[in-house]
Amino acid sequence: MTTNEDRFTRKALERWRQIPQPIQFRLLNNVYCAPCQGAVGMLGHRGRVEDGLLVLEGSCGTCGEPVVRTIES
């Protein structure tokens, strides 16, 4: 598993596990960071479901600022 599972809500973990690992990898390594003005890798991610979206939150792998990735079902 690509994630630290204890940092996901139960519902978010169920949704995350439905995504194939190669896609998980791409999702975590293609996150927009405003300060860096481009795509970066996400570190220390955690997940939750909000308004039907899987929300991944973590830190930019380049500058350390917070980044968020939302994934539709």
- Overall domain count for the chain: 1
Report pLDDT digits (tens) over 21-72: 999 999 999 999 999 999 999 999 999 999 999 999 999 999 999 999 999 9
The predicted structure's pLDDT at residue 73: 82
Full domain range(s) for residue 59: 5-71
60 Cβ contact partners less than 8 Å away, ≥ 6 residues apart: 31, 33, 35, 36, 40, 41, 42, 43, 66, 67
* pLDDT of 3 higher than 50: no
The predicted pLDDT at position 4 comes to 64
